[in-house]
Structure 1
Amino acid sequence: MSRSLATYIALPGTTAEAMEHWHEVFGGQLEILRYGDTPMEDMPFEPDPEAVAHATLILPVGIIAGGDAMDDERDYPVQGTAYSLLYTTSTPDEARGYIEQLVDGGGSVGMPFEQAPWGGWYGQVFDRFGVMWAFSCDDE
């Protein structure tokens, strides 16, 4: 198996919905495996068969993986900067398009996408799942 590194996000029961939304926004190849799709007799716990055991969204720029957090792992907030993804685009218009789709999908702007003091462009959006998406690109 070749080596790779992927972002992994455990969401409180909303992984399938989040992955499907991100797939609509960014495209790519989405695979979702639910606990009910696997042999559950050897599991050390009793998961909801509809819960996401593992999901991957393979994009040209990287991989986002995740699963539903178990009940005892849901006591932490998702909204904030602990879960954040930095997406570097080719043009400001490409970033603006993604930002618009995330906001239209129930998200909110955390930091307006505008020229950054270091040159280039930068902004942040919190999607409806509480995940922060930072967008960056070089000058036009």
Structure 2
Amino acid sequence: MATLSTYMAFLGNAAEAFTHYQEVFGGELLLMRYSDVPQMTGMPFEPDPQAVAHAQLDVDGGRITGGDAMPGEEYAVRDTVYSLLYSRDDVERARELIDALVAGGGSMNMPFALAPWGSHYGQVFDRFGVMWSFDVAASAGEDG
């Protein structure tokens, strides 16, 4: 069975990010540091043993994966050119998740409300700069 998941590279704080995501979304977290994996031949860099080589969080409806970026890779995480779209079937649960991301140091980008196309939709940046979009289809949502 084919699957598609998100992969995010963090600038040295992947463990903190994935621990936060597990607190917000729940789910099963696998966190592997470079010290946990066998030495790999041909690595183009010497990894920090405490850096995250791979993180995987299985949440209701999907999977979030990532790790720490390779040394020398620097880029802006915060942007609106992408977001993680989390489609839910319960307006209240979507609001709870948004509130948890904001309470955890994030900021509202677009309030979660009834959108012109009939769904509830909103956007929030988490404290790591990742934009999360939440959508609840009109047939699953509630009024206002």
The residue aligned with 2:55 is 55
Question: Scaled by the length of structure 1, what TM-score is found?
Answer: 0.93
Question: Scaled by the length of structure 2, what TM-score is found?
Answer: 0.90
The residue aligned with 2:117 is 118
* SS state at 1:88 partner: strand
Alignment of 1:1-140 (within 5 A): 2-40=1-39, 42-44=41-43, 45-74=45-74, 76-139=75-138, 140=142
Query: RMSD value over aligned CA atoms?
Result: 1.3
| Counterpart contact for 1:9–1:83, Cα < 8 Å | no
Matched residues in 2 for 1:53 and 1:82: separation? Answer: 26
Percent identity for Structure 1 against Structure 2 = 55
Provide, for residues 51-99 of structure 1, a one-character-per-residue CA deviation record: whole Å limited to 9, x for no partner: 000010011210100010012212x100112441001111211111001
- Return 5+ residue gaps in structure 2 as ranges: none
Shift of residue 48, structure 1, vs aligned partner = 0.3
Matched residues in 1 for 2:81 and 2:21: separation? Answer: 18
Q: What is the count of residue pairs matched by the alignment?
A: 138
| Over 6 Å off, 4+ runs | none
Matched residues in 1 for 2:92 and 2:42: separation? Answer: 47
Segment of structure 1 superposing worse, 83-92 or 30-39? 83-92
- Return 5+ residue gaps in structure 1 as ranges: none
